[in-house]
Amino acid sequence: MKKITLIMAHASDGAIGHQGGLPWPHHPEDMRRFREATLGEAVIMGRTTWESLPSPLQYRHNIVITSRPDRIDKTQADAVKSIDDALKVAGNSHPFFIGGKTIYSQAMIYVNHFLLTEIHGRWPADTYFKVPFLNHKTLVSQEEWKHPEDASLNCTFSEYQNAE
């Protein structure tokens, strides 16, 4: 079975977004792990997530799900109308769903692997998502990480897969 991954960072209360960006300050360790996991692979996202990026994610196959594919610059990303189409366009690469909330919700029936970062602090947010039925997944690994200067950015990195 092909590995299809949901990769997400969230605050302890499930916050994943605030005014088109992340709720918390820059988190270099989470970004490093995201980059290492997705490098060379397909990253699938919704239009709002795409528009929140300063530029396309380098060295990855950027795929944007949108009702208006004609509005996405074809030199920067492939644009499709559905998750099924995104997975087809991803081809043989390992697809990662990277956000936002609507894409995460719709992708749950396809995903069999989860890379989650729970950042222990709380910040103002307007978008929330928690992976449903996580207690029915198999925990593969878990690591606590302490921020050297800001305890609110301490986090837990967890990897889950669907129970066999």
pLDDT, one tens digit per residue, over 24-50 is 999 999 999 999 999 999 999 999 999
Q: What is the pLDDT of residue 132?
A: 86
pTM for this model (two decimals)? 0.95
Residues 6+ apart with CB under 8 A from 149: none
Residues 6+ apart with CB under 8 A from 109: none
Three-state DSSP class for residue 38: helix
Residue 6 and residue 14 in contact, taking contact as beta carbons nearer than 8 Å? no
Residue 10 and residue 119 in contact, taking contact as beta carbons nearer than 8 Å? yes
In the chain, the amino acid numbered 164 is E
Q: What is the pLDDT of residue 159?
A: 97
Q: What is the pLDDT of residue 25?
A: 93
Residue 97 and residue 44 in contact, taking contact as beta carbons nearer than 8 Å? yes
- Tokens at 28, concatenated: 């270099």
Phi, psi of 139 (to 5 degrees): -75, 120
| Run means of pLDDT, 10 residues per run, the chain, 164 residues | 94 95 93 97 96 95 96 94 97 96 96 97 95 90 95 96 84
